[in-house]
Amino acid sequence: MVSYNKKSVEDIDVKGKRVLMRCDFNVPLKDGVIASDKRIKESLRTINYLLDNGAKLILCSHLGRPKNGPEAQFSLKPVAARLSELLGKPVAMADDVVGQSAQALAAGLNEGDVMLLENVRFEKLETKNDPELAKSFAALAEIFVNDAFGSAHRAHCSTAGVAEYLPAVCGYLIQKEIEIMGGALQNPKRPFVAILGGAKVSDKIGVINNLIEKVDTLIIGGGMSYTFLKAQGFAIGDSILEEDKMPLALELVEKAAKKGVKFLLPLDHKIGDGFSNDCNMQVVKRGFIEAGWEGMDIGPETQKLYCDAILGAGTVVWNGPLGVTEFDTFAEGTMAIATAVANSGAVSIIGGGDSAAAIVKLGFAEKMTHISTGGGASLEFLEGLELPGIACLQDK
């Protein structure tokens, strides 16, 4: 059984202690300039709490996917500069991850000081969760705080390995994810409606399987709906299809029926004769997508069916867009669903990744109870899997 009852920064005395905090500073950079500092700002609550309570704070994060050790384009120096501005105090930047520079800076910290290690993935053994490297991280500090939910599904040195050697607790970001998503899965306000979109059934098998055990209604949209429809004998033209997943799709529909779960699939589609915003477009009933055409969004009848299910919900969990939202012509279905979720009055939880981006782009972020900060991590969480970066934290 996955434990969601973890100690947080408020359950541990940090005064005068060197605290290593794993953040998610994996920000988008354009020509060395931060394009969005949202992730940095999201970490400020935990950082400020630790500094206000007298911690000597050592921050660490990955950025991008450097392949060959240190690469200047993946340096966290721009993050240190932006963080200094946001905190109104200097953030000392180490020249390395766990080497002499990091060790010297960590040793010289006073209460309320803050420093940042260089990109943890500059150490090639980071992603291998190498015990010796994990020990080197641990040697810098006396307490470990994980607040990088977006990396909590990875068993890396800086997310899980270091917790073998230090008392480990979560920051406010991970605490919020655990409380809201864990609460929804364990004790949801009913009816519990899950909306799953995205391109592939294979990406969501575990999630569908787990949620069928918990929800009252399961809504399927996006590219993966065509695998379900084709499996039931409907013509899908040139729509995206995972042929090898068709038997599994039928099994999932059958499982839902046995559990008394409403399993909703599109009744009609907005289709295009090419993968672009400017292709020819028409709306057809399900089963009537001809060769040369592909499903790009849910149609108006489906929008009504799905919105009606959402408007009566007590809890809504949503992961994955329902159409090709990068094209405005085919973002209408996702927009309609976002509007319904925003107006439902339900506890609304948006899984990270594309659905979160769509909600922000459409301007509905403020109306949602919670938008997860981790795409892959939130998917695995909804799947009921234990996340290594959370499992390693001390239980209350």
> Active-site residues: which are they?
39, 200, 353, 376
Which is nearest to 33 in space by CA: 70, 73, 62, 86? 73
Which among 39, 4, 43, 42 has a CA at the least distance from the CA of 145?
Answer: 43
Q: Which of 321, 353, 7 is nearest to 150 (CA)?
A: 353
Longest CA span, the chain: 70
Parallel, antiparallel or unpaired: strands 18-22 and 29-30 = unpaired
Q: Which residues contact 381 (CB under 8 A, 6 or more apart)?
A: 153, 177, 181, 182, 185, 372, 374, 387
Q: What is the C-alpha separation between 240 and 257, in angstroms, rounded?
A: 25
What span, in angstroms and rounded, lies between the C-alpha atoms of 189 and 170?
Answer: 26
Q: CB-based contacts of 178: which residues, under 8 Å, 6+ apart? A: 4, 6, 170, 390
Please give the Cα distance from 264 to 352 (Å, whole number).
Answer: 22
Q: Pick from 346, 282, 278, 342: which is nearest to 312 by CA? A: 346
Walk across the sheet containing 143-146 and list its strands.
Answer: 92-93, 114-116, 56-60, 18-22, 143-146, 168-170
Residues constituting the chain: 396
**DSSP H or E stretch at residue 341:** helix 332-343
Question: Helices 205-212 and 375-382 meet at what angle, rounded to 10?
Answer: 40
Rounded to 5 degrees, φ, ψ at 261 are: -90, 130
| Pair of tokens at residue 68 | 């060959």
What distance in Å separates the CA atoms of residue 287 and residue 221, rounded to the nearest whole number? 15
Question: What are the structure tokens assigned to 279, written together?
Answer: 């292709």
